[in-house]
């Protein structure tokens, strides 16, 4: 009888461990008890709401790729495994970018699954997560050209922030309770950490004790937690009731997570079919493959809110990238030219110059390389077609605009 009980308890413990878990809800409840943290959090959320409202009707505007500097930390990693850990980190970055850009191979499953979810579309975000390679914080033993991967560095002395790594999306890989935890609406300026269990980071074979294990072996735990960092709730909200929601219009209202690999459309809660393959639910890695368009819009609005917090000059591609470098929003232009640039591309001497069709310069102004979006007053110019030239160092790019 004792053996039967032992086997049952063993099975139960394995079963519980095999379910996805995320500590973000509990983490936020605890952190929001701190008045200073709460004030900063509410201030960022207020700015986010303004940004989200401002861009609610600009879904078809031309956008630029937003580059996000990432640093990955292995506090308990073995320095002799550095090469292996850097390769593991790059594989995780590949997963993260594919998932957020909706270029993951398993997004093809959505073609059949979407018949159960009319009106819901998969979301894509024109963002790129990159391991930083330049201007590393001092004292880390990292040189230019090497990726921002620390091995054996005690991030934040064991806390959830580190001022040395302010300006990055920080991912700390270590042994934790659950699979991952991240701040809801994280702050790069604060040096916030997203923590991932050492058995749920990366893909393929690992590096010693730091090795992904099924069913969390495809890097989707990081996708889930970075979703929180970019202000996404779990799909069931944070209260677990049919009256609560995740503040995203196109995700079905549900009251509980779904674990494992449920058949699309098979789980019904609150009279809705649960979007069981969504990254912000609790599926196994092999059955998680999409954000919705509404989730993408929410994350991009939050990213626009915190874009100035990212450290500049740390990415290898710190230069213009042809058509993706900057965009003119709301063209034709009335009174004010709204310019959006990819972060980390403008030199200190960057300028914007406007020419009429005769080639005469009619306006020239300096650009602020620390701003992601900036407005230029063109109310003194007559209506017509103009050429814009943005100059940054030795790079020059041109656009056409119409001023009404």
- State the CB neighbour count (10 A cutoff) for residue 209: 12
Total residues found in the chain within this entry: 404
Residue 36, exposed/middle/buried by CB under 10 A (0-12, 13-18, 19+)? exposed
Q: Measuring CA to CA, how many Å separate 61 from each of 108, 306, 331?
A: 26, 20, 9
Q: What is the DSSP string of 345-392?
A: ---TT-EEEEE-TTS-EEEEEE--TT-SEEEEE-TTSPSEEEEEEEEE
Task: Please choose, from the candidates 257, 178, 266, the residue with its C-alpha nearest in 3D space to the C-alpha of residue 225.
Answer: 178
Q: For residue 278, what is the DSSP state? A: B
Residue 21, exposed/middle/buried by CB under 10 A (0-12, 13-18, 19+)? middle
Q: For residue 337, what is the DSSP state? A: E
The verdict on whether 225 is a catalytic residue reads: yes
Question: Cis link prior to 332 (omega < 30° from 0)?
Answer: yes
Are 301 and 55 contacting, i.e. CB atoms less than 8 angstroms apart?
A: yes
Residue 257, exposed/middle/buried by CB under 10 A (0-12, 13-18, 19+)? buried
Active-site residue among 51, 130, 195, 225?
A: 225
Question: Cis link prior to 215 (omega < 30° from 0)?
Answer: yes
Q: Measuring CA to CA, how many Å separate 387 from each of 62, 126, 242, 361, 403?
A: 17, 26, 53, 9, 11
Are 50 and 292 contacting, i.e. CB atoms less than 8 angstroms apart?
A: no
Q: What does the alpha-carbon distance between residue 183 and residue 192 come to, in Å, rounded to a whole number?
A: 8
| Catalytic residue IDs | 225
């Amino acid at each position: 009888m004792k053996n039967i009980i032992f086997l049952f308890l063993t099975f139960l413990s394995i079963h519980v461990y095999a379910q996805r878990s995320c500590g973000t809800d509990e983490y936020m409840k605890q952190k929001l008890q701190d008045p200073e943290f709460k004030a900063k959090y509410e201030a960022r959320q207020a700015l986010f709401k303004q940004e989200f409202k401002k861009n609610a009707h600009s879904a078809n505007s031309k956008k630029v790729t937003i580059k996000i500097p990432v640093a990955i930390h292995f506090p308990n990693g073995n320095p002799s495994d550095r090469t292996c850990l850097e390769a593991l980190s790059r594989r995780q970055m590949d997963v993260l970018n594919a998932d957020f850009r909706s270029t993951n191979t398993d997004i093809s499953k959505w073609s059949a699954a979407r018949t159960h979810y009319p009106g819901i579309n998969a979301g894509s975000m024109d963002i790129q997560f990159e391991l930083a390679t330049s201007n590393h914080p001092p004292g880390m033993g990292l040189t230019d050209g090497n990726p921002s991967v620390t091995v054996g560095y005690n991030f934040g002395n064991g806390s959830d922030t580190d001022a040395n790594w302010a300006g990055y999306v920080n991912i700390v890989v270590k042994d934790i309770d659950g699979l991952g935890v991240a701040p809801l609406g994280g702050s790069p300026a604060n040096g916030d950490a997203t923590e991932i269990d050492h058995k749920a980071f990366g893909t393929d074979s690992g590096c010693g004790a730091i090795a992904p294990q099924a069913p969390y072996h495809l890097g989707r735990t990081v996708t889930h937690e970075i979703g929180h960092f970019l202000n996404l709730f779990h799909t069931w909200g944070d209260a677990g009731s049919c009256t609560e929601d995740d503040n995203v219009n196109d995700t079905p209202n549900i009251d509980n997570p779904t674990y494992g690999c449920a058949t699309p459309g098979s789980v019904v809660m609150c009279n809705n079919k649960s979007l069981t393959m969504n990254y912000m639910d609790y599926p196994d890695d092999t059955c998680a493959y999409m954000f919705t368009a509404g989730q993408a819009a929410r994350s991009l609005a939050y990213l626009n809110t915190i874009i100035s917090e990212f450290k500049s000059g740390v990415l290898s591609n710190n230069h213009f990238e042809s058509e993706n470098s900057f965009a003119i929003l709301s063209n034709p232009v009335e009174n004010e030219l709204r310019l959006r640039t990819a972060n980390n591309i403008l030199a200190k001497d960057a300028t914007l110059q406007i020419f009429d069709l005769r080639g005469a310069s009619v306006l020239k102004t300096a650009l602020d390389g620390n701003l992601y979006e900036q407005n230029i007053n063109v109310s003194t110019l007559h209506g017509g077609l103009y050429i814009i030239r943005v100059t940054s160092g030795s790079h020059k790019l041109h656009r056409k605009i119409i001023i009404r």
